[in-house]
Amino acid sequence: MFANIRRIAAAAAVTGAVAGISVLSAGAATANPSDTACTAADVNVTVVKEQGGAAGHEAFRIDYAATNPDVNCKLQGGPRGLVFNENGAPIPGIDVVPENSAAEPVNLTATSPAHSYLIQAADAAPHAAVPTGVEFSLPSALEDDRVATDWPGGEQLKGVLQATPVAQG
C-alpha cells in the first residue's frame, strides 16, 4: 500500500513540475521580444498633445497600441516620412528631423504599448496651415508601411519638428 502511495505522490510531483514548466515557458514566450517587424495591420496609432513638456518646447506623443491580443511585433527607430495634411491635402514645408539618441528595439503587445514624440520649439514661427491629420511610416524594419491618424484638434505646428525613437510604455 505504501508503494502505491509513493507512486501516486511521485506521479503527482512529476505532473506538477511539468505543468509548472509549461506555465513558465508560456510566460517567457509572451515576454520575449519578437523578431517580426510590426505592420500597419498590427498597430493602432494616435497622437495627443503632451502637457507640461520641457521648458521652451511643446511635444506631441505618438501612441502605438496593438490591434489585438495576439500581436507580438518589434518597433525600432522613429516615425519616418511624416506628411501632415489639412482636410486630406498635404501641407508643404514642414520639416521633421530624427533625434540622435539610441534606437533600441521595442516589443509591442496588447499589454506593452509604445510611444514616440514630435518635439517643437514653443517660440518658433507657426506654419500657416493647421493639420487635421498625419501619415507616416512605422518605426520598423519594413521599408514603407504607412499609417495615418487624426492630428489633435487645432494644434499648430511650429518650426522644425524633432522625432524621437520609439520607447516602451
Considering the domain architecture, whether residues 95 and 148 belong to the same structural domain is answered as yes
% of the chain exceeding 90 in pLDDT = 69
Distance, in Å, from the CA atom of 109 to the CA atom of 42, rounded to the nearest integer, reads 9
Distance, in Å, from the CA atom of 102 to the CA atom of 34, rounded to the nearest integer, reads 19
Report whether pLDDT(102) > 90: no
pLDDT of residue 82: 97
Distance, in Å, from the CA atom of 169 to the CA atom of 163, rounded to the nearest integer, reads 17
Report whether pLDDT(4) > 60: no
pLDDT of residue 100: 86
Considering the domain architecture, whether residues 25 and 75 belong to the same structural domain is answered as no
User: What residue numbers bound the domain in which 161 lies?
Assistant: 40-168
Considering the domain architecture, whether residues 143 and 117 belong to the same structural domain is answered as yes
User: Number of structural domains, the chain?
Assistant: 2
Distance, in Å, from the CA atom of 93 to the CA atom of 85, rounded to the nearest integer, reads 11
State mean pLDDT over 77-101.
95
What stretch of H or E contains 6?
helix 2-31
Considering the domain architecture, whether residues 124 and 145 belong to the same structural domain is answered as yes
Asked if 79 contacts 136 with a C-beta cutoff of 8 angstroms, the reply is yes
Report whether pLDDT(22) > 90: no
Nearest to 128 by CA among 163, 100, 89: 89
Considering the domain architecture, whether residues 110 and 141 belong to the same structural domain is answered as yes
pLDDT digits (tens, 9 = 90+) for 34-88: 889 999 999 999 999 998 767 899 999 999 999 999 999 999 999 999 999 999 9
Question: DSSP labels for 52-114?
Answer: S-STTEEEEEEEEEESSTT-EEEE-S--EEEEEEETTEEPTT--EEE--S----EEEETTB-E
Mean pLDDT of the chain: 84
pLDDT of residue 141: 83
Considering the domain architecture, whether residues 157 and 119 belong to the same structural domain is answered as yes
Q: Which residue has the cell 506538477?
A: 16
Considering the domain architecture, whether residues 19 and 99 belong to the same structural domain is answered as no
pTM here is 0.79
